[in-house]
């Protein structure tokens, strides 16, 4: 039984630029934000699942899919320059003013259709002992040690010392998967980031991760979603 008070925040502002109305664009037949809401609710981990938005239509859709929208996002945290940390700190402050505090904070991005209740639960199991935060990551598909760059029009190796190394002998390097982040609330408020001194990663499979910056990305993600659904 989960005795901690956990809050899930799904940031979803209305002003997406590269893909207009991205946070509520249909993905496999339903608004993409609904996938994040559904996974968080079905996990059973959270006292509340809320969407932070400045947009009335997004708020309406979020409520239709079971999320709470107890207040609207401030204009300062809805512009192009506000960070995720700014949004989360505003949410925590607004809840505290309403007399509600939480032991942990989980930020699930609104365009994360591959997030699952199982992955959220797996991440929370890592939040033990001296661990303050957990976030999703994925290995680079090609060894970065064998990377190239162009200098004066000519191809050069970034790390010539690895020119003769076998790919399988090189250390795996990871990057942020941009799916969800969990932290102890006290740690997040103190450090103003999900990436603190005692952070661990939850490693995802490559098929579970896809940037959604272009319409081509969107189509690829829908294909990946179908492949994942068939494999489960």
The pLDDT assigned to 8 comes to 98
Supply the Cα-derived Rg of the chain in whole angstroms. 19
Give pLDDT, residue 2. Answer: 56
b/e map 22-41, b = 16+ CB within 10 Å:
bbbbebeeebbbbbbbbbbb
Phi, psi of 40 (to 5 degrees): -65, -45
| pLDDT for the residue numbered 17 | 78
CB atoms within 10 A of CB 230: 7
CA distance 102 to 187: 12
Please state the domain extents for the chain.
6-137+175-231
In this structure, the chain runs to a length of 232
For residue 164, give the 3-state DSSP assignment.
coil
CATH of 6-137+175-231 among 3.40.640.10, 3.90.550.10, 3.30.70.360, 3.40.190.10: 3.90.550.10
Backbone angles phi, psi at 11, to 5 degrees: -75, 135
The pLDDT score that the predictor gives to residue 1 is 44
Number of Cβ within a 10 Å radius of residue 88: 26
- Listed as ranges, residues in the chain with pLDDT below 70 are 1-2
Structure confidence by residue, pLDDT tens digits, 53-108: 999 999 999 999 999 999 999 988 888 888 999 999 999 999 999 999 999 999 99
What does the alpha-carbon distance between residue 40 and residue 179 come to, in Å, rounded to a whole number? Answer: 12
Residue 230: its pLDDT value, please?
Answer: 86
């Amino acid at each position: 039984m989960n005795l901690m008070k956990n809050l899930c925040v799904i940031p979803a502002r209305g002003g997406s630029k590269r893909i207009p109305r991205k946070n509520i664009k249909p993905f496999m037949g339903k608004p993409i934000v609904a996938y994040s809401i559904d996974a968080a609710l079905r996990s059973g981990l959270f006292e509340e699942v809320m969407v932070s938005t400045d947009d009335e239509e997004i708020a309406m859709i979020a409520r239709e899919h079971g999320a709470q929208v107890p207040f609207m996002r401030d204009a300062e945290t809805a512009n192009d320059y506000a960070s995720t940390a700014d949004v989360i700190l505003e949410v925590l402050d607004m809840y505290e003013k309403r007399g509600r505090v939480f032991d942990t904070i989980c930020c699930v991005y609104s365009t994360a259709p591959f997030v699952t209740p199982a992955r959220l639960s797996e991440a929370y199991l890592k939040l033990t002992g001296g661990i303050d935060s957990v976030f999703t990551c994925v290995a680079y598909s090609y060894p970065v040690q064998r990377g190239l760059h162009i200098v004066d029009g000519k191809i050069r190796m970034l790390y010539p010392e690895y020119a003769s190394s076998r790919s399988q002998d090189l250390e795996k390097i990871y990057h942020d998967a941009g799916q969800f982040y969990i932290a102890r609330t006290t740690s997040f408020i103190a450090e103003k980031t999900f990436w603190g001194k005692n952070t661990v990663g939850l490693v995802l499979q490559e098929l579970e991760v896809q940037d959604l910056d272009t319409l081509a990305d969107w189509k690829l993600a829908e294909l990946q979603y179908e492949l994942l659904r068939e494999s489960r």
